[in-house]
Amino acid sequence: WLVSDTMQHQWLLLAACFWVILMFMVASKFITLTFKDPDGYGAKQEPLVLTAVTKVEEGHVPEGKHWPEEFQPTGKAFPGNLLQQQPLVHMERLELLRNVCKDTALRNLSHTAVSKFVLDRIFVCDKHKILFCQTPKVGNTQWKKVLIVLNGAFSSIEEIPENIVHDHEKNGLPRLSSFSDSEIQKRLNVYFKFLIVRDPFERLISAFKDKFVQNPRFEPWYRQEIAPGIIRKYRRSRSEPRGLQFEDFVRYLGDPNHRWLDLQFGEHIIHWVTYVELCAPCQIAYSVIGHHETLEEDAPFILKAAGIDHLVSYPTIPPGITVYNRTKVERYFSGISKRDIRRLYARFEGDFKLFGYQEPDFLLN
């Protein structure tokens, strides 16, 4: 009887050990599957670099009437497993943005309320859960064409008439401001969000040439209304009969009291206001920041990261069009006083710092 009882205890102990081992194996398998990238199954798993995620820091969202407490941008900068797909350069851009947003010395130049003005700049593709913040003079026309096709208004980019692209009554591109507060918040939290930037001073040159010199889209108000307003306020020699000069334009942009003119000019100022004012990059957690100077590599990456590379392609980029042209910048600023250049830089310093553009020493010193 004693031998039988001992054997029974041994069998029970053996069964218990087997059960513990089995449960451990199941738990281990569950943990492995939970943290493994499903799209990279079987491949070497790279560690997550959590510091690359741009988050809205507590207390960095403007309070008050512009942004109610229940309507504050939150959420992750990367949907799904996008973080593991980020090349180093894109991770570094978001890390830099996050760090500069924390710099209290630059707070006035890096933070802005997420007002209707900002929400008007963000275009929505609900079908593919994409938000695109428009930064004029940085190749935005082509990105709008991409979204127009994705939204189904046209079947291909080639079919889109040029006069439709910027006609927001006909191009099928809703603005984020057209949704309710709760729907805006939902999209900010969940959708893939991106914007494109370029050297801030080169962008200003492009805006000046496009609106006040060439004016290819026949927008007469730039020459007939805005240019005279800037000349009256900022031209030093009133006897000069010339049209708006770049030095007049720089003096206007660098004036700390420029806002009274901006109010008169209305939405036309979007072509030369800061990226901060346009897209609120410290308040909204963008997934990717593209650079105009590396658009040949950034455009395909953005399409792939957004999961739409199999549906549409970015239009062909003419050779050399995205390269930073230091000679052109030096030529345009050659007749501008150092005082006016420094005042201009003081206004756009946030854009330079947030997006990794070097301070233009050859202009300031």
* 5-26 confidence digits (pLDDT tens): 555 556 555 565 555 455 544 4
CB count within 10 Å of CB 175 equals 15
Integer Cα distance of 336 and 246 in angstroms: 8
pLDDT at 140 over 70: yes
Question: What percent of the chain shows pLDDT beyond 70?
Answer: 76
Which of 135, 140, 131, 53 shows the shortest CA–CA distance to 97?
53
pLDDT at 114 over 80: yes
Quote the domain boundaries for residue 326.
83-363
- Residue 266 placed within a domain: yes
- Residue 258 placed within a domain: yes
- Residue 96 placed within a domain: yes
Instruction: Give pLDDT tens digits for 52-73.
Output: 233 333 333 333 334 444 344 4
- Residue 265 placed within a domain: yes
Per-residue pLDDT band at 93 (split at 50, 70, 90): very high
- Residue 53 placed within a domain: no
Summary mean pLDDT of the chain: 82
pLDDT of residue 216: 76
Instruction: Give pLDDT tens digits for 149-208.
Output: 999 888 889 998 888 888 877 888 999 999 999 999 999 999 999 999 999 999 999 999
- Residue 218 placed within a domain: yes
- Token pair belonging to 190: 């969940």
- Residue 230 placed within a domain: yes
pLDDT of residue 56: 37
- Residue 334 placed within a domain: yes
DSSP string across 136-199: TTSSHHHHHHHHHHHTTS-SSGGGS-HHHHT-TTTS---BGGGS-HHHHHHHHHHSEEEEEE--
291-294 contacts at long range (C-beta below 8 A, 24 or more positions apart): 291/93, 291/196, 291/197, 291/198, 291/355, 292/138, 292/139, 292/196, 292/197, 292/198, 292/199, 292/322, 293/198, 293/199, 293/322, 293/323, 293/324, 294/89, 294/322
pLDDT at 33 over 70: no
Domains contained in the chain, number: 1
pLDDT at 260 over 50: yes
pTM for this model (two decimals): 0.78
- The residue among 7 and 274 whose pLDDT is bigger is 274
User: Could you report how far apart the first and last alpha carbons of the chain are, in Å?
Assistant: 101
Integer Cα distance of 101 and 330 in angstroms: 30
| Phi, psi for residue 190 in degrees, rounded to 5 | -110, -35
